[in-house]
Structure 1
């Protein structure tokens, strides 16, 4: 452990830790728009600057290693002024259409501007760059990009692809490189602190929620496990008006804040109108709704009839990789012990 002084108070902190991480552990809030503890420091937003005794210049706390006896000020007048200048610079080119932005309620840029009393320009900046809608799952709006670089780094360092870049015109775009094919994982979307990357077709869903007055309803967050494969990625479902409207990864094992395209975007079947909500029994050539008691009675009667006539080998069972291990265990037990056959399998295609 080493001893440091932060804002006039003495603390013991672990060795080999950055000032930013130390303050985070001590619940001393330092703003940042480009920091992610899974990524190498990017030093692009200049909001995490701190004042260190003996240093003429302000230093980025996200890359500054804490040293024994270091004296640090996180909210001095000099630091606050620098943060205000950095935020004001970002707003110069940022498209401030907050009312139509999907990140409006969770935008870190908007939140910091409010905290540091940075006022809007009052005039709308004309969109300078085209919105990239070439991906079926997400759109890129460079006009809302603050060039924090998080999307580029998460794609390169964590996803191992490197599909994004800041191009020669100075804005975020996809690379035209077949060797860096996008997997549509959506991890760039999840780390974006503004509305520069958004889920495709969000505008239509936003308008639909507004039409039915559900856009202002309180958002419910439900933690769950992804059902697509056996990895067990942890998800957070965002629910409004009884519908899942977005999926976010949880930064815990095994996925550590990352998802694949299925986990991130493959949720809309949940709200699909064709989903079965009650058992259906075919009568006179047509499926009609039935109660669970009617359905179970029919299954039991038919199963007994078939087994008595043809034996257990007439049955076959197909389970699903989307079920839990416990559910699959019970199903195979049912097929083997009750129906009397080993004809059981499951499709691993997800």
Structure 2
């Protein structure tokens, strides 16, 4: 049964704020909100009736009476829930008139997430997502009555707040009032400049979701077609971030082994999620020493492209433009972090989300579905199954275990599957016996779920040795730049697609990636060595003074 809703969101407690989900309950005096009314034995419910449909239509009209209706430039476009319901309930004109909000959109280019108050229907979904999923609490309701709006404290721009740029508020917004800054035009300029050597890198999660933007079912793997589509844009090369993910495991795995054996700042946190990096810098700076110093796979790939691959090809850093295709809006912020550039030249120049990549392809009349399968370019086009599962919650942990356990136990794992850390649950715990030691593991997705564990660590009460934290529920497959969806089933299908793809990979352990072995032999030396620390590790910043 499809009951309309604006304010409902998976992983978030129901609020009943938008009222569009009202239903008729037999013997009840008034209509009840379906999302927040508990079902009871013997309850008779009408999810559609003349009374229900009339109420829903009036609610939609009232929302439209104070809503910008210039749809062609709206970022929600065909995904606008308000437009969908207006059509469903036959709203052809609005009967209510009066004062309207004409707030200017916050499009400050320093902000990754932009806001347009004229499109906001005050459903409050973004507020609850920011509180209950990300734990950042960067926005809330402010002012009263007709002047009510959603924003940050002291009317600050989002980039001036504790916003972690995760984009989950964007995924939740039903009307396009919140959206991610687009860099499509800038990338187009780079592609059309004959002097630029544009190199694309694609994150593991993109292959399981890009097809949705072209009408394919959720969970359809489109790796080969995606590569073919990118090559139709005529870049210099197309690489995959899986290479950087395998490199991350070599560095992060080695870092964990050293810390664990020396009991140095244990537990160790993974550092792949930039939203998590920014969160801990704001809220738990006293625990920064526990955060792995490794850059994310995106940044490692960018660094290797500009500092090693460029020389191999007889190019300079200045000639290359690295464009990342990422599931995450926070990746746009990450490329500006301290330690992610050399002599003021960034390792990664632009980030496009999955949705932006679809826009770029469509703008260039490239039909993903009709294209043949093509391969990534050598050598940074090589990756393993361990790298691919970085896309899901528990994937970084499992990838690390596939390497760490083999190194510590000094023997090969015949079946490198650690099912203990798999699944879409927000919190997963496991204990493994490794080389005679008990290793306690924790995997968290949805940053708000991590707060009690972080508080315990702060108090010295934690039992864990290794902790993976990702901001987005389910991991990168549910990132703030991924295709919009209505049902959790979509995320489940993306998860299954990634895990199934890992099973059929010929190489499933990062340390067995021959391209990675070549890189260490010819350039880096050894994991966690001097050159690795120069190029593949990053400092962190105490941001606790930001309100």
Shared fold per TM-score greater than 0.5? yes
1:153-186 deviations in Å (ceiling 9; x for gaps): 1111111111112221311222239996111111
3-state secondary structure, aligned to 1:90: helix
Tell me which residue corresponds to 2:473: 256
Tell me which residue corresponds to 1:48: 21
- Alignment RMSD (CA, Å): 4.5
Residues 1:258 and 1:127: Cα distance change in structure 2 (over 3 Å): farther
Q: How does 1:140-289 map to 2 (within 5 A)?
A: 140-168=115-143, 169-176=147-154, 181-201=162-182, 219-220=213-214, 235=327, 237-238=354-355, 239-240=358-359, 242=361, 253=424, 255-256=472-473, 264=480
Distance in 2 separating the partners of 1:342 and 1:183:
32
Residues 1:173 and 1:72: Cα distance change in structure 2 (over 3 Å): same
Distance in 2 separating the partners of 1:250 and 1:107:
27
Distance in 2 separating the partners of 1:328 and 1:349:
22
Instruction: Give the drift of 1:241.
Output: 5.5
* Number of equivalent positions: 251
Residues 1:148 and 1:200: Cα distance change in structure 2 (over 3 Å): same
Distance in 1 separating the partners of 2:522 and 2:135:
48
Aligned mate of 2:49, from 68, 76, 91 = 76
3-state secondary structure, aligned to 1:51: strand
Q: Which runs of 5+ in 2 are unaligned?
A: 190-211, 224-239, 250-269, 274-325, 328-352, 365-390, 394-422, 425-444, 446-471, 483-506, 540-547
| 8 Å CA contact retained: 1:138, 1:197 | yes
Instruction: Give the drift of 1:40.
Output: 1.4
3-state secondary structure, aligned to 1:153: helix
Q: Which runs of 5+ in 1 are unaligned?
A: 1-27, 209-217, 267-323
Aligned mate of 2:91, from 94, 112, 118 = 118
Distance in 1 separating the partners of 2:170 and 2:241:
18
Distance in 1 separating the partners of 2:102 and 2:510:
54
Instruction: Give the drift of 1:68.
Output: 1.4
| 8 Å CA contact retained: 1:142, 1:173 | no
1:330 and 2:513 correspond: yes
Instruction: Give the drift of 1:219.
Output: 3.8
Residues 1:265 and 1:118: Cα distance change in structure 2 (over 3 Å): closer
Tell me which residue corresponds to 2:102: 128
Residues 1:265 and 1:256: Cα distance change in structure 2 (over 3 Å): closer
| 8 Å CA contact retained: 1:237, 1:244 | no
| 8 Å CA contact retained: 1:50, 1:61 | yes
Tell me which residue corresponds to 1:9: none
| 8 Å CA contact retained: 1:166, 1:172 | yes
| 8 Å CA contact retained: 1:95, 1:124 | no
3-state secondary structure, aligned to 1:166: strand
1:343 and 2:525 correspond: yes
Instruction: Give the drift of 1:226.
Output: 7.9
Residues 1:333 and 1:173: Cα distance change in structure 2 (over 3 Å): closer
Distance in 2 separating the partners of 1:326 and 1:113:
51
Residues 1:240 and 1:133: Cα distance change in structure 2 (over 3 Å): closer
Distance in 1 separating the partners of 2:153 and 2:117:
14
1:55-109 deviations in Å (ceiling 9; x for gaps): 1111011011111111110001111111011111100100001111121111011
3-state secondary structure, aligned to 1:148: coil
1:104-159 deviations in Å (ceiling 9; x for gaps): 11101100000001124499997611212245212100000000101111111111
Residues 1:51 and 1:103: Cα distance change in structure 2 (over 3 Å): same
Residues 1:175 and 1:325: Cα distance change in structure 2 (over 3 Å): farther
| 8 Å CA contact retained: 2:4, 2:21 | yes
Distance in 2 separating the partners of 1:250 and 1:81:
43
| 8 Å CA contact retained: 2:61, 2:91 | yes
Residues 1:44 and 1:226: Cα distance change in structure 2 (over 3 Å): farther
| 8 Å CA contact retained: 1:96, 1:125 | no
| 8 Å CA contact retained: 2:25, 2:32 | yes
Query: More relative contact order in 1 or in 2 (CA 8 Å, sep 6+)?
Result: 2
